[in-house]
Amino acid sequence: MSTAQELRMVITVDDFDRVVRFYRDTLGLSVDSEWDRDDGRGILFDVGKATLEVFDRAQKESNDILEAGQVVEGDVRMALKVNDVDSSFHHLVVAGAPLMSHPLNAPWGQRIARLQTPHGMQLTLFSDL
C-alpha cells in the first residue's frame, strides 16, 4: 500500500463566491490554483501542513463544551493554527463570522477560539501558548 502524501479536505457550498471571499480575503489563505469551467468552479487553498484528527464521541463533546460552551451539532470541524488567536478571532468576527466562543487558554497548552464559516462549518483557531 502506498503512503498518503497530502490531505485535502473538500467542501461543497451553495454560495461559492461568498465562501471563497471568506477563506481568501477574510482568513487570508493563499490560492494554490483555481478554475472556472463549463462543468463547475473550484479553488485550492494552501494551508500548509495538514493532519487528520479523529475523536471518539466523548472527546468531541468534551472539546465542544470547552470551545463552544455546549455540545453542538456536526461531526466535522476545521481547526487552523494561526500566529495570534485573538487578533485572528477579532478580524473574523468583525468580518461577520458567527462566534461560538471567545478566545481562551485550553488545558493542553494552546490558545483557542471557535467560530463558524459562512457555510456553517465549525472553525477552531489555535496557537501554542
- Domains of the chain (ranges; CATH) run 16-128 (3.10.180.10)
**Cα–Cα distances in Å, from 43 out to 54, 92, 119, 120?**
26, 21, 16, 19
- Report the percent of the chain where pLDDT is more than 90: 88
pLDDT tens track for 105-125: 999 999 999 999 999 999 999
Q: What is the mean pLDDT of the chain?
A: 93
pLDDT tens track for 58-67: 999 999 999 9
